[in-house]
């Protein structure tokens, strides 16, 4: 009875493609997060994620190789890859890990904006520069990614027409940052905490 089920059309064209689809979502999502951790210098978490990513991928591809005449599996494999990229990007947004540098160009009072940011708990530095037409103030601030929205709100309130750029920062040393809770020794606990914060 069990053997006949695994050989049935329901399993071959229904359940098996579904499992391949879900497996691809998992391994591509993990791969997306792994690349992010590599770029952030998380050298202890990235290899663990890489292990599970390849393990799931091998399982999925082996099932396809065993059923080369089943083209539904091919569609499920490709659809899982596409969906996994989307899911991985959503997870990455929810985690909001690391730091980002905001560079603000404004014709208004640069030191005033720095004072507002400092009083709100964010480090900021301003320098004078010459733009295309007149003098401008360039304000630099490195913030935790989870706080990016709050900083942008302050900047837009100060000057809605301010021009700014945002860049990822791999590592930081010292600086002024808003207080953060200590992460657990277990690395995946910090991932779950970061994800729950972004919900």
∠ CA 49-31-75, nearest 5°, is 130
Give the mean pLDDT of the chain: 80
The whole-angstrom separation of Cα 9 and Cα 85 is: 29
Percent of the chain with pLDDT over 70: 80
3-state SS, residue 126: strand
Going by pLDDT thresholds of 50, 70 and 90, the confidence category of residue 174 is low
Percent of the chain with pLDDT over 90: 22
Res 59 pLDDT > 90? no
The whole-angstrom separation of Cα 38 and Cα 149 is: 24
For 72, list phi and psi in degrees, rounded to 5: -65, -35
Asked if 76 and 17 count as a contact pair (C-beta separation under 8 A), the reply is: yes
Q: What is the pLDDT of residues 117-172, one digit of tens each?
A: 988 888 888 888 887 777 888 999 888 888 888 899 999 998 888 889 998 877 76
Mean pLDDT for the stretch of residues 36-65: 86
Q: 130 forms bridges with which residues in the sheet?
A: 135
Second-level CATH architecture of 99-193: 2-Layer Sandwich (3.30)
The whole-angstrom separation of Cα 30 and Cα 33 is: 5
The whole-angstrom separation of Cα 160 and Cα 104 is: 12
* pLDDT greater at residue 17 or residue 68: 17
Res 23 pLDDT > 50? yes
The whole-angstrom separation of Cα 189 and Cα 139 is: 35
User: Exposed, middle or buried, 34 (CB in 10 Å: 0-12/13-18/19+)?
Assistant: buried
CA torsion 20-25-27-32 (nearest 10°) is 160
Q: What is the pLDDT of residues 87-109, one digit of tens each?
A: 988 887 777 777 888 999 888 78
């Amino acid at each position: 009875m069990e053997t006949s089920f695994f050989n049935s059309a329901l399993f071959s064209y229904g359940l098996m493609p579904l499992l391949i689809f879900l497996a691809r979502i998992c391994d591509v999502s993990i791969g997306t997060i792994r690349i992010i951790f590599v770029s952030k210098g998380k050298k202890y978490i990235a290899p663990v994620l890489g292990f599970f990513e390849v393990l799931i991928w091998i399982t999925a591809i082996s099932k396809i190789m065993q059923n080369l005449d089943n083209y539904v599996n091919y569609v499920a494999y490709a659809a899982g890859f596409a969906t996994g990229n989307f899911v991985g990007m959503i997870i990455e947004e929810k985690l909001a890990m690391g730091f980002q540098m905001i560079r603000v160009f404004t014709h208004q009072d640069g030191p005033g904006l720095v004072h507002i940011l400092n009083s709100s708990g964010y480090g900021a530095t301003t320098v004078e520069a010459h733009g295309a037409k007149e003098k401008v103030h360039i304000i630099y601030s490195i913030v935790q990614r989870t706080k990016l929205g709050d900083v942008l709100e302050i900047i837009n309130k100060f000057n809605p027409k301010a021009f700014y750029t945002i860049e990822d920062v791999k590592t930081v040393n010292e600086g002024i940052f808003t207080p953060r809770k200590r992460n657990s020794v277990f690395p995946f606990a910090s991932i779950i905490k970061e994800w729950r914060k972004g919900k």
